[in-house]
């Protein structure tokens, strides 16, 4: 690809693939997604990184689609990463074979709003501790998308610190986007137990 994320817009491109083909394995999806934390410095309206399609739901076409090799928590991580990266959400499964879990993933308007935020500024990794990561993305209305990622093999408590990770103080409003639930005002930061290979996504509004 020749580091296309650094020059694609200079040749008039609006969208460019940044990686080889994705497969429905944790190694493939996570290595592609997490590598993009430092590839967003030229991303914005009319200049988008494309880390390949979403491999969620049952895969394959025709009468015999197969089960996804990504677990449920891994698929949540997949869509959380792509949404934080302002990546195109290209559905890679047969829509006639979509199950209820996949519908909930693909039709969560709170999460889609993060991906489609008009500011178009992708997230950055703002804190890392071993296999846990905190990513933050500024949004057009002055709020932030904050994601907690657990790349490890066991449930782990992960915390975001507003001053350290966002540069803000006080007690902003927090909404859990996957659960679609308001959590109220949280002073100083927020922490949660994140399952193995899982993610949580929040909207933080100062």
Q: Is residue 55 within 8 Å of residue 77, measured between CB atoms?
A: no
Distance CA 86, CA 163 (A): 24
pLDDT tier at 63, thresholds 50, 70, 90: confident
For domain 124-205, the CATH class is: mainly beta
Task: Decide: 67 and 99 in contact? Cβ < 8 Å.
Answer: no
The CATH number, out of the four listed (3.40.50.300, 3.20.20.70, 3.40.50.11720, 3.40.190.10), of the domain defined by the range 4-115: 3.20.20.70
Residue 147 near residue 203 (C-beta atoms within 8 A): no
Pairwise CA distance, residues 152 & 130, whole Å: 9
Pairing relationship of beta strands 132-138 and 173-176 according to DSSP bridges: unpaired
pLDDT in tens, 8-30: 888 888 999 999 999 999 999 99
User: Which tens digits make up the pLDDT trace of 104-155?
Assistant: 999 999 999 999 999 999 999 999 999 999 999 999 999 999 999 999 999 9
Both tokens assigned to 82: 């792509």
Which has the closest alpha carbon to 102: 94, 110, 28?
A: 94
Query: What pTM does this model have?
Result: 0.95
Domain boundaries, the chain: 4-115, 124-205
In terms of pLDDT, which residue wins out, 97 or 118? 118
């Amino acid at each position: 690809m020749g580091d296309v994320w650094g020059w694609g817009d200079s040749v008039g491109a609006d969208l460019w693939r940044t990686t080889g083909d994705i497969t429905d394995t944790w190694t493939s999806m996570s290595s592609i997604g997490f590598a993009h934390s430092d590839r967003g410095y030229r991303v914005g309206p009319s200049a988008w990184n494309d880390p390949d399609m979403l491999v969620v739901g049952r895969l394959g076409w025709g009468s015999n689609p197969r089960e996804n090799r990504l677990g449920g928590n891994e698929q949540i991580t997949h869509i959380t990463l792509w949404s934080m990266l302002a990546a195109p959400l290209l559905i890679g499964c047969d829509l006639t074979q979509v199950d209820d879990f996949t519908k909930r993933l693909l039709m969560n308007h709170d999460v889609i709003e993060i991906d489609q935020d008009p500011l178009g500024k992708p997230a950055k990794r703002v804190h890392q501790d071993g296999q846990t990561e905190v990513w933050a993305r500024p949004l057009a209305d002055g709020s932030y998308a904050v994601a907690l990622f657990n790349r490890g093999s066991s449930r782990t408590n992960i915390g975001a610190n507003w001053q350290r990770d966002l540069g803000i103080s006080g007690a902003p409003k927090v909404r859990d986007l996957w659960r679609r639930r308001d959590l109220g005002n949280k002073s100083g930061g927020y922490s949660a137990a994140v399952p193995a290979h899982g993610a949580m996504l929040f909207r933080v509004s100062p």
